[in-house]
Amino acid sequence: MFYVFSGGKAEQKDKIEYPPKKDSAIIGMFHQEQWEEIAKKYHINYVPLQQISKYAYYECLDGFDFICVNAIDYQNLYGGQRRVLFYIEKDFYLIFSDEPAKWKKIIENIIEVLGEKNTSNRVLFEFITKLIGSDITVFDDLEKEIVELEQALITAQKKDCVKEIISLRKKLMILKKYHEQILDVLECLSENENHIFDEKTVRCFDRLQKKTERYYENVLNLREAVTQVRESYQAQVDINLNYTMKIFTVITTIFLPLTLIVGWYGMNFDMPEYNWNHSYAMVISLSVGVVLAGVVFFKKKGWF
């Protein structure tokens, strides 16, 4: 599907004249499997998809720019990435995706919202803005999740949060890599080496780049917050381990004298108290007294 822009209006067409007529511009939206077909049909430079990295790709060649962005769904970060390709010439922009219906709907919504302000540059800019995410509540959701997790650790409502920490780190890693690739693409678009865009559009890309940088900084701050939660959790684990070791140490210390008594009276010697009628009760009393003395001593010291 092509969208032909002229005089502030946009028309949908299945066929177009290439190159565009004077004072008109074209945006095309197709399935990525049609890339080779469209390239041959309109005799434009073809870049094999096999040569494109699975990460962000930007190539500025003679007279055109070729961009690949792996878009994510902010509301489903584990849903995988969707490749979106851009072939950009002066007044002629082609977009390819494996979800063309979704992006067609977005383009048509942008055209409807802009109304008489429709231009191909403005629509392309708004389209790229959508890639960054118009709904960034994901940052607020992640921040809330981190605060709640930290609160649960402090109040001892949650003792094991390894899965939550790993999940948060994975989500933030996805967001970090995504915003890095978007920043690379926006930087190249702002340079405008082929002079495809006018000064106003370049300034828009500059502002969008700064906005993306703020999102990127937000992601880094959230990563730092998760690191602090992880360190707090590790400190709590160490404290619990130290407490457990202290308890074992106290128990061992209390029963150490009893071990001495057992060893003492387990020797094969004829001791005088063996012939005493109350020797058995004396050993029992001594053992109980040692245990009670140890418990009282460590209680006063506050060891348990």
Reported as a single tens digit per residue, the pLDDT across 247-295 is 888 888 878 888 888 787 777 777 777 777 777 788 888 888 888 888 8
114 with 194: CB under 8 angstroms?
no
Fold of 245-301: Methane Monooxygenase Hydroxylase; Chain G, domain 1 (1.20.58)
Residue 155 pLDDT > 80? no
Indicate the pLDDT class of residue 35, thresholds 50, 70 and 90.
Answer: confident
Q: What is the bridge-based pairing of β-strands 25-31 and 92-97?
A: parallel
pLDDT at 53: 57
CATH topology (fold) of 1-133: Beta Polymerase; domain 2 (3.30.460)
Assess whether pLDDT exceeds 60 at residue 135. Answer: no
Mean pLDDT of all residues in 41-70: 76
Q: List pLDDT tens digits, range 53-66.
A: 566 677 887 888 88
Of 260 and 174, which is predicted with more confidence?
A: 174
Query: Do 266 and 259 meet the contact criterion of CB atoms below 8 Å apart?
Result: no
Report helix, strand or coil for 19: coil
Report the pLDDT value the prediction gives residue 52, as an integer from 0 to 100.
62
Q: Is 159 helix (H, G, I), strand (E, B) or coil?
A: coil
Q: For the chain, which residues make up each domain, given as ranges?
A: 1-133, 245-301
Q: Which of 40-54, 55-69, 88-102, 289-303 has the least mean pLDDT?
A: 40-54
Q: Check residue 93 and give its pLDDT.
A: 92
